[in-house]
Amino acid sequence: MSDAQRQAHARSLRDPRGFWAEAAEDIEWLRRSRAVIDETRAPRVAWFPGAMLNTCSNALDLHVLAGRGEQAALVWDSPVTGELRRTTYRELQERVARFAGALAGLGVEPGDRVLLFLPMLPEAVIGMLATARLGAVHFMVSDACSAGELAQCIQQAAPKVVLAASCATLPGGVVPLAPQLERAFEMTSQRPRHCVVLQRAQAPASLVAGRDVDWREAEARAEPAACVPVEAKAPLYILQTAGTTGTPKTIVRDGGGHAVALKWSLRRVFGIAPGEVFWAASDLASGVGHSYAVYAPLLLGCTTILYAGEPVGTPDAGAFWRVVEQHRVNAMLAAPAALRAIRREDPGARRLEGRDLACLRALFLAGERADSESVSWAERALRVPVIEAWWQAETSLPIAASCVGLGPARVRRGSVGRPVPGFDVRVLGDDGEELPRGASGHLVLKLPLPPGCTTALWQNDEGFARSYLARFPGFYETGDGGSLDEEGQVFVLGRTHDVIEVAGQRVFAGAIEEVLAAHPDVAECAVIGMSDTRKGHLLLAFVVLERGVARDAPALEAELVARVRERIGAVAALERICVVEKLPKTRAGSVPRSTLRKIADGEPWRTPAGLEDPSALAALRAALARLAPRS
C-alpha cells in the first residue's frame, strides 16, 4: 500500500466527519447538510442529514454546464447486433430530461418505484437517470431472470411504471421479453399503471391497450423535466443481491452518501480523472454495474462503456482487448470468471498480438476470488497491474484494494489489498473476540460504515439487523472469512458458510480452490463439503479443465489430492473429484455452493435466484451421478 493510501485510511478512521465532508465538496448540493453524519439511530446512520441534491443533475447537467457537453458520456458496443452508438453528455442529458417528462406524464412522482426489465442498452441508463431526475426510485431486474423472479420483484417493489424492451439479443439468438413480463404479471397482485415498451426491430411486441406505451413515441412527445431536489437520505435505487445462499436480499441505496462515495472512489481507488474512459464489464443489473458502469463514471465526468457481448464467443477470446483498443479504455473492471474464460480459450494470449493497449493502465477484478494463475497470466499478457478488489453489493464501493489514485499500485498476490479509506476491517473469532494478525476468522467492518453503504433492506429493517448486525454487536458482518497480516493486507478465503468442518478441523473452501486452480490442467474449480456421519464432511471438488485437455481421471485425481495434502495438510484431503464442463454461476459470477452442497447430499433444493445458466446445474448433477459410489 502506498504511503498516501495508508495516511488517507488512518485519517478516515480518526476523523471520518472531516474526511467525508472534504469529499462532499465535490458534489453539487441544492442544500447543504446540517451535519456530516447522524448517529442518533445507531447502528443505523444517515450521511449528510438534511442535505438536498439530485443525482441525475450531478451526473449530467453539471457536466454540460461545465463545458463537457460534446464529450462522449456513453459508448454502447454490441458485437451481437453489430451496432455501435456514442452518446454525448448533451445528448444524454436531453434524452434523459425528455424521458423523465414522459414518466412524469405517466404519474411518476418522488418516492415512486420504476422497475426496469431491460437488456444492456443505452435506454437502460436513460431509464435509471430519468427516474432519479424525478426523485423516484429505480429497481433494475436482469433481463435473464425467470418469470417467477420477475414477479417477486414486481410484488416487492409495487412499481407505478415498468420499463421493458420487446426482446433481448444474445449470441444464441433473439429472446422475446414481452411474454415473460406477461407471465410475471399473472403471478402477482401488484400491477403497474403503465408499461413503457422499447420496441426493437429483432422482435417487436404487441402492446396492451390502456396499459402499454411505446417508448420512442412517449419520449418524442414529452416536454423535458427539471431535476427534483431530493433528500440525501432518500432512496436512489433498490437492488436485489444475487442470492448465492438461496435467499436474495433487496438492498437500499441512499442518494447523498452514494454520490459522494462513488465520485471519490473512481478518482482515488481506480485512479481515473474526468474525461477519461472507464469500462466496467458487468451486467447493469448487478451492484458493480450500477456503481461503475453507470453512476461513478458519469458523476466524475468520464466516458463509460456499455459492452453488450461476452468475454468469449462474440466473436472470440479477443473481444475484451478489441474493446479496450477501439475505445481507448484507461482502466477496466471485470469478473475473475471472465478472465478465466479468456485464458481458457486463449492460453497463449494470441488474441492480444498486434493490439495497441498502451491506453490501459490497470485491470481491476471483483466478484469471486481471483485465482493466482489467471492473474499472473493477465499481468504477463497485458503488462499492467492486475488488482483484485474486495467488495459486496451492499457496500457499493470496494472494501479493500490497492488504491492507484493514491499512489503506485503495490499488489501482493493472494491479497485483495489494504482497506479502502472509510472501512475499518477487523477479524473476529466465533466468540466475537478480535483475533491476532495472521489468524483466520470472520471478516467484519467496524461501524459506522462509510457513505454509500447499505443501511437498510427494502421494507425490512429487522431483516437487515438480523442479517448483518446481530451476530457481532458494533460490527457489520460481511459473511466472508479471512485474515489480516502484519502490514494490514486483507486476505479473503471465501464465504463463512463455505467453511467446511472435517474431522473436527475447519477448512476454508477457498484455500483448497487456490491450490487446485494452480494446477496447469485446471481452468477453475469449486469445493464443497458433503455430509459424512464419521468425519462431519468429506471434501468434494468440481473441476473444469483447460480447453483441449483430456486427462485420465484417476491420474488427475491423484495429482490434485497430493497437491492439496502437501500445501494445506492431511485434514484437507480431497475425497472425490468431479470433472464438469462448466460451473453454475450467478450473473454476478458467484458459484452457488450452498445449492451444490444440497445436490451432492441428495437434499431438496431449488434453482438460486439470478442463476446465469440453469442447465449447468443439470450437467453437474449428471456428472455426480457418474461418480463411483463412496466406499
- Residue 66: strand, helix, or coil: helix
Is the separation of the CB atoms in 292 and 395 below 8 Å?
A: no
Query: In the block, which residue shows the cell 454487536?
Result: 473
Is the separation of the CB atoms in 208 and 186 below 8 Å?
A: no
What does the pLDDT look like over 387-409, one tens digit per residue? 999 999 999 999 999 999 999 88
What does the pLDDT look like over 415-466, one tens digit per residue? 999 999 999 999 999 999 999 999 999 999 999 999 999 989 999 989 999 9
- Residue 376: strand, helix, or coil: helix
What confidence score (pLDDT) does residue 145 get? 86
Q: Which whole number is the average pLDDT over 170-179?
A: 93
What confidence score (pLDDT) does residue 244 get? 44
pTM of the predicted model as reported, rounded to 2 decimal places: 0.89
Q: Are strands 230-231 and 52-53 parallel, antiparallel or unpaired?
A: antiparallel
140-149, 212-221, 479-488 — most confident range? 212-221
C-alpha grid cell for residue 588?
454476478
Q: Is the pLDDT of residue 506 over 50?
A: yes
Q: Which whole number is the average pLDDT over 10-28?
A: 97
Distance separating alpha carbons of residues 557 and 626, to the nearest angstrom: 15
What confidence score (pLDDT) does residue 239 get? 96
What confidence score (pLDDT) does residue 631 get? 47
What confidence score (pLDDT) does residue 367 get? 78
Q: Is the pLDDT of residue 211 over 50?
A: yes
Confidence of residue 189 (pLDDT cuts 50, 70, 90): very high
Greater confidence (291 vs 596) lies with 291
What confidence score (pLDDT) does residue 118 get? 97
Greater confidence (592 vs 266) lies with 266
Is the separation of the CB atoms in 288 and 282 below 8 Å?
A: yes
Distance separating alpha carbons of residues 146 and 41, to the nearest angstrom: 38
What does the pLDDT look like over 53-99, one tens digit per residue? 999 999 999 999 999 999 999 999 999 999 999 999 999 999 999 99
Which secondary-structure segment (H or E) carries 351?
none
Q: Is the pLDDT of residue 630 over 90?
A: no
Q: Is the pLDDT of residue 368 over 80?
A: no
Is the separation of the CB atoms in 117 and 181 below 8 Å?
A: yes
Return phi, psi of residue 78, to 5°: -120, 95
Greater confidence (337 vs 53) lies with 53
What does the pLDDT look like over 309-325, one tens digit per residue? 999 999 999 999 999 99
Distance separating alpha carbons of residues 270 and 446, to the nearest angstrom: 24
Residue ranges and CATH numbers for the domains of the chain are 90-228 (3.40.50.980), 505-626 (3.30.300.30)
Chain-centre distance for alpha carbon 27: 24
Among candidates 188, 180, 233, 226, which has minimal Cα distance to 205? 180
